[in-house]
Structure 1
């Protein structure tokens, strides 16, 4: 939805922000479903999701792939 409706200029930042929002939501749902501590699950999923996005962005930078402009 972000890719369809957000303005082009801040697209990368909006996609990152919404990805974080949905990682937090995913962590919450997973913790409640599994009966785990919600804060720990949210922190773990958000941290590792951000690390994965950073590695992906770094590889894109390394190979000269720039979708932002």
Structure 2
């Protein structure tokens, strides 16, 4: 596994990007399911950024499926 300053910087940049994604979805009210919004907010506030991104992806997929039916 890679380590060292370059790897840490890349990981920090990835996390920063993930944080921006979560913030955008919350700020722009993109998610329609309010339970999903609350869950994303809770995960994000607990520092679980990647879990929040996963939940956003799941919620968006469910929204797409609901619209196609």
TM-score over 0.5 for the pair: no
Question: What range is the shorter-chain TM-score in?
Answer: 0.3 to 0.5
TM (norm. structure 1) is 0.41
Structure of higher RCO (CA pairs closer than 8 Å, 6+ residues apart)? 2
TM-score by length of structure 2 reads 0.41
